[in-house]
Structure 1
């Protein structure tokens, strides 16, 4: 075999430029970039060194042969022509990977099968010995790449992908691969910062991948030093003495690096479930003296090395995939920006994000951006110098203030020079009076965000007297007042509940998303609430009971008040909260009319109307709903107000329940769904089609002189005329719309029905 070999180093997409620099530094010659790969020439010593030291490659492939191929037969004979007895034993194990297509091979499984057949046929002995397939831990892993009619047959020296360092046995939901994390650190300037003795902090460290990769770079540890199984371990061309020499050199370098005073490397993670797995990963990497992980929220993040020491803040914020993530991610980025400006002045920062638009919401400019891929997801690395000149805040600073800030920053970065220091009469040094630190304000809103904030504040002011006079705790403050900001915003005491309406297909999704972020940025400032108390959901067109389906499982209830009663709302787990705000006037009407009456609440949901009836002195209340979940909620609402003895909760299909009921009621409230096809009921309920049967059944249970209130929110609903012929029917919709829903008079319709 020759002294020089052709190598292919594969890597994640976007890392080619960094990998070629690294590979050349490790000895690769005649290096050239390819898509997700680097190609070059190397000695066996360099090939081993690349396996051991490459922080960026996935695999090191040693090319055995290149040959042209027109079809599957060319492939078979080209592979058969290799002297395979020089590479593996006839009874060894084998795995074959095939990539590319063409030359009559469009199926990679078929291509891999032809390669395997050729190797097995070449090594088969007269006694019948032949290699077997082992996809997990083979003696030899062969790779064939088909590229424009040329077959490139290679031996995989790495075995398992080189990103699998071996320390990360426990990981979070969506971790970065180790070589991508290393690439981000390198692009962020960490090798330079570490060489200068700088610190590193990750405020969202997960299980510590950035921390460990940073520690290995700083301590001069080969990333794959602890790996025991390699693709060349059982290869007959392996040179154990050469490998042993390189490995021992790497062990000595690591020992020397770890013997140095450890750098300050810290991680903070909000999820307590990830703390111990992260610490375990650090321990397996041998870096427990260098790296510490603590539990902490981004909003309180503050690196605390020696006051004069600076360094790098690096993080990979989570990607939004669940209902309401728009708000939580926006506020996460805003909190990160605030902490950088307030606690990390003169540091450098690197934010790796799958949502670059959110990076603009941090209130601080990036001076460089690099494109990467995290799997199939395009991402950006934002590099930031945390200096006042880079801040984007609401304040307007004069040129003199900016100059003072620059001088203060320079002072903070420059060590004291003895010949320039001044002393008082007691001989104590006098420090220069520092310029005032810049005032950290909320990030300046965009033009659209400021316009939206102005509208919210205008609405809030217009309703303030009514809210105070009526003692209202929960109300709607905005309902798509401006069509381009299509959402409803409700206040629940000191919480904000936002429902984003799905944008029409005619609206550019990017513009709709930008407007949503503008609005979310404006809400906390305009309504004077903490960002953590804003909950966002997206309301699509609903059918059936979809609006009642569970969206989350936090199980957190908040207590609010209305008309002298206490009610529980859940702002996170369902599309609706357990309290329909537009029915407030109806509930208060029921409370006023309920004294001494038997009250029936059909399709009761969380029985808020029943609580009001009980508060108003009802002789009894009966609440019927098909959902056990909502009846449990109803029970809690009643108990919260001290009501239980005379308040029945009935689980069942309302229509079937009414048909079997023989009791009489003085006051009945019906607010049915538009459509329901629950598995727990027979047939399908359609409010437009079934209204007559429903109202007739309910009126049969109404006592003489009693009142039935009927409402629904189906915008196309039309009350059947024959009902007005049999009953006294009065539409009272206008009387059941409070000022907070005055702009949306079609939010519901309501009727008062009595016997003639």
Structure 2
């Protein structure tokens, strides 16, 4: 008959019932819960299983007995009566831990010394030898607890605490213990969510403990499998024939778990340094193919968009104030978290674990359940939220916004409609930067472009069109203000994320650009376009660094320039060259007269890893460069992209460029530089443009304007002309 033993599993205070449920699920017979512990009965094989599989326990103790102890002599007698020779070799290493006091035993250190003497005396008498005593890597750890004159004697089967799984060698500030993180995930319902394929996200992941523990659960990986050893392995009564099959079973389950498709598990943090710790821990746990982390502030926290993500659980352990900063400084962080949850995560569940529940009021969320727990010795709370319930109750980010005027609401309604059509199209086609509005309502005459940075922040670029002379300037400005309010309302943007290019009426004496710069001090940012990372500046220049209407043109160039040599004239910030370069263009030359754009293009090249030896940037007047190239570069290029301005009279240029007048000569010069079978892609923005008959007769010309126009610009199909020209 299998021998049954009495065990005690210890845990963080407040997790006793979670641990008891786990023990029952593992197959142990739970006897009772007690503060920070659960007593249970099981055979030795089950005890090994608990050591290997418990996500909640700190230690598993084998209870050897208990006695009434009122003084030191009674303590000695109780300990010396245990047959220690059955548990440790006399040449082994012993460590004794003692907790508790009474009227006679007033010091735990004295209690430990008295117990150690009893064990050593017993072994010396039984074997003629005595063990060494050392807390470093002992062969047997003895745990004694004195409470209300009752002494409990046990041996620790674990060795090091079970919360130390073995994967976390790097930790951030205020680390969360692994077993506490696992318990919080269970309280938040993660196991059931993972079973259904729901995602797990942590917007302030720190060293990644929630992510790793969540992945271990989802992949059915035993938390003890990464440990180097357990205390029971050097215990004299250890039965290896029981232990090895359990370990083999766990290895097989891990292999099977990692082969299945795991839910999306991803973490974010604004601190790039702490993410290094997270990446190291994830890799050490063998989960680097399944768990990812990114540097992103809470204000940019959104549902991942790289693949379909099923609503699941957002869980986080934000700073509390006591440890990582002043409370007032943290209120904005909590408020941003609440705003992003309400705006982006409808239908999700959320869990916030905090040692300062007052800060959670700043989220604007109403929890439906709270658990009082401890993070070490710090009283803390786990608050659970159903984000879709927040919306149903009307407590959403929309309800907190100021009411719009009737005119602004009219614009907002149109923007919402466009989001349902153009925005949906953009999302479906992985378009991160697109035109949302283009004077759809004639009285609100402006274009609104939406940009999304690689960090996840959304920006709006509003360019006002010239109002008819019949519209008073004051009225035009008022309408622009309403348009800006509606844009911020619909996209839920802070003022710093909105750039406004306002057209003003100038007298002939006034100088400078018609566009007035806004957002002084704002920083440039990077966006993604089909795998290329491109620098955007919405504030300092007339244009942003990326012509959105040329998106399909760049994609077409990327296709036809693969394995070929490209010339990009009037290259601007060379975004077309970047796309061609990452698409496999073997060599390129990009020419532009502007020092500013050349420097900008160089940053784009560096960001995308384009070799400056194979991809050359030339600061020059394109007209002069073309003339010189007729002598030494004839037949050199396979693809040429010619995208000149409609009109230019720069002081640096030798002449004045008029594209309608001069395009035939430009095209003929470019065709001379093409290799046999090469392609010239010619584009311009002159709405009244007509291709010269001489060009039509000399070359094979195809108008691709309609073909290379995406949905977000189809409202205004004359935005540009695109022609593909080849030698006949």
Report the secondary structure of 2:224's partner residue.
Answer: coil
Q: Tell me the residue number matched to 1:52.
A: 52
- Separation in 1 of the partners of 2:178 and 2:381? 17
Corresponding residue for 1:155? 155
Over residues 291-346 of structure 1, what are the superposed CA-to-partner deviations in whole Å (9 max), with x where a residue is unaligned? 00111100111121577611111100001137972222111110000110111111
Structure-1 separation of matches of 2:128 and 2:165:
38
Conserved? CA contact 1:370–1:382, under 8 Å = yes
**Does the 8 Å contact 1:72/1:103 carry over to 2?**
no
Please report how far the alpha carbon of residue 56 of structure 1 lies from its aligned counterpart in structure 2 after TM superposition: 0.4
Structure 1 residues 366 and 79: CA distance shift in structure 2, 3 A: same
CA contact (8 A) 1:347 1:385 kept: yes
Contact kept, 8 Å, 1:199 with 1:305, in 2: the verdict is no
User: Are the equivalent residues in 1 in contact too, given 2:23–2:30 (CA < 8 A)?
Assistant: no
State the TM-score, normalizing by the size of structure 1.
Answer: 0.52
Q: In structure 1, what is the equivalent of residue 314 of structure 2?
A: 313
Residues 90, 323 of structure 1: alpha-carbon distance in 2 compared, 3 angstrom cutoff: closer
Partner of 1:113: 113
Cα offset for 1:443? 10
Q: 1:126 to 1:196 in 2, by over 3 A?
A: closer
In structure 2, the CA distance between the partners of 1:194 and 1:530, relative to structure 1 (3 Å rule), is same
CA distance in 1, matches of 2:354, 2:289: 29
1:439 is matched with: 398
Q: How many residues align?
A: 409
Which residue is equivalent to 1:183?
A: 183
Secondary structure of residue in 2 paired with 1:220: coil
CA distance in 2, matches of 1:32, 1:328: 44
Structure 1 match to 2:375: 374
Q: Which residue of 2 aligns with 1:725?
A: none
Q: Relative to structure 1, is the Cα distance of residues 159 and 442 closer, same or farther in structure 2, using a 3 angstrom cutoff?
A: farther
Cα distance, 1:70 vs structure 2: 2.1
Which residue number in structure 2 is paired with residue 383 of structure 1?
384
Q: TM-score, normalised by structure 2?
A: 0.54
> C-alpha distance in 2, partners of 1:330/1:279?
28
CA-to-aligned-CA distance 1:215-264 (integer Å, 9 cap, x gap): 00000000111112211111001001100011111111111111101221
Q: CA deviation at 1:209?
A: 0.2
Matches within 5 A, 1:462-473: none
Taking the aligned partners of 1:24 and 1:85, their CA distance within structure 2 comes to 33
Measure the CA separation in 2 of the matches of 1:321 and 1:300: 25
* 2:115 partner SS: helix
Matched residue, 1:337: 338
Change (3 A) 1:442 1:62: farther
Output the CA distance in 2 between the equivalents of 1:3 and 1:324.
Answer: 54
2:100 and 2:145 in contact (8 A); partners too: yes
Residue 248 of structure 2 corresponds to 248
- Determine the structure 2 residue equivalent to 1:269: 269
1:392–1:89 Cα change, 3 Å:
same
Q: 2:360: which partner in 1?
A: 359
Contact 2:327 2:359 in 1 (8 A): no
Distance 1:254 1:163, change over 3 A: same
Q: Judging changes above 3 Å, is the alpha-carbon distance between structure 1 residues 369 and 216 closer, same or farther for their aligned structure 2 residues?
A: same
Determine the C-alpha separation between the residues in 2 that align with 1:252 and 1:29. 26
Which residue of the partner structure matches residue 7 of structure 1?
A: 7
The 3-state SS of whatever aligns with 1:224 is helix
Matches of 1:5 and 1:261, distance apart in 2: 39
Question: What is the aligned-residue RMSD (CA, Å)?
Answer: 2.7
Deviations 1:2-28 (A, max 9, x none): 701111111110000101100111122
CA contact (8 A) 1:11 1:56 kept: yes
Match of 1:195 in 2: 195
Asked if structure 2 preserves the Cα contact closer than 8 Å seen for 1:341 and 1:391, the reply is no
> SS of the counterpart of 1:232?
helix
- Relative to structure 1, the CA distance from residue 530 to residue 110 in structure 2 (aligned partners, 3 Å threshold; closer, same or farther) is farther
Mean Cα deviation higher: 383-392 or 285-294: 383-392
Aligned-partner SS, 2:90: coil
Output one character per residue of 1:40-77: Cα deviation in whole Å (capped at 9) or x when no partner: 21110111111001100100000112222221111111
Is the Cα–Cα contact under 8 Å of residues 262 and 289 in structure 1 kept in the other structure?
no
Write out per-residue CA displacement over residues 508-551 of structure 1, whole angstroms, 9 at most, x where no aligned residue. xxxxxxxxxxxxxxxxx9xxx97999xxxxxxxxxxxxxxxxxx
CA 1:388/1:107 → structure 2, altered by over 3 Å: closer, same or farther? closer
1:183-240 residue CA offsets vs partner (Å, 9 max, x unmatched): 0000000000000011111000001000000000000000111112211111001001
Q: Which residue of 2 aligns with 1:76?
A: 76
Corresponding residue SS for 1:286: coil
> Conserved in 2, the CA contact under 8 Å of 1:10 and 1:57?
yes
Q: CA 1:117–1:294 in 2, change beyond 3 Å: closer, same or farther?
A: same
Shift, 1:376, TM fit: 1.5
CA contact (8 A) 1:193 1:311 kept: yes
> Is the contact between residue 8 and residue 60 of structure 1 (CA under 8 Å) also seen in structure 2?
yes
Tell me which residue corresponds to 2:290. 290
Preserved contact between residue 101 and residue 107 of structure 1 (Cα < 8 Å):
yes
Report deviation, 1:144.
Answer: 0.7
Corresponding residue number in structure 2 for 1:174: 174
Which residue does 2:614 correspond to in 1?
A: none
Q: Does the Cα contact within 8 Å between 1:264 and 1:305 map onto a contact in 2?
A: no
SS in 2 for 1:129: coil
- 1:639-658 → structure 2 map (5 Å cutoff): none
Contact 1:348 1:385 in 2 (8 A): yes
Q: Which residue of 1 aligns with 2:239?
A: 239
The aligned residue for residue 124 of structure 2 is 124
Counterpart-to-counterpart distance in 2, 1:442 and 1:137: 60
Distance 1:317 1:392 in 2: 25
- Gap regions ≥5 residues in structure 1: 396-437, 445-524, 534-756
Alpha carbons of 1:195 and 1:76: their partners in 2 closer, same or farther (altered >3 Å)? same
8 Å Cα contact 1:363/1:392 also seen in 2:
no
Q: Separation in 2 of the partners of 1:173 and 1:531?
A: 32
Q: In structure 1, what is the Cα distance between the partners aligned to 2:327 and 2:392?
A: 23
Match of 2:63 in 1: 63
Contact 1:24 1:31 in 2 (8 A): no
Counterparts of 2:8 and 2:231, CA distance in 1: 14
- Report deviation, 1:127: 9.2
SS at match of 2:170: coil
Q: Deviations over 1:338-370 (max 9, x none)?
A: 110111111111111111122122122111111
1:550-577 CA distances to partner (integer Å, 9 max, x unpaired)?
Answer: xxxxxxxxxxxxxxxxxxxxxxxxxxxx
CA contact (8 A) 2:278 2:293 kept: yes
Q: What residue in structure 1 maps to residue 329 of structure 2? A: 328
* Alignment deviations for residues 689-727 of structure 1 (CA, whole Å, 9 cap, x no partner): xxxxxxxxxxxxxxxxxxxxxxxxxxxxxxxxxxxxxxx
Match of 2:638 in 1: none
Contact 1:392–1:443 (8 Å) recurs in 2: no
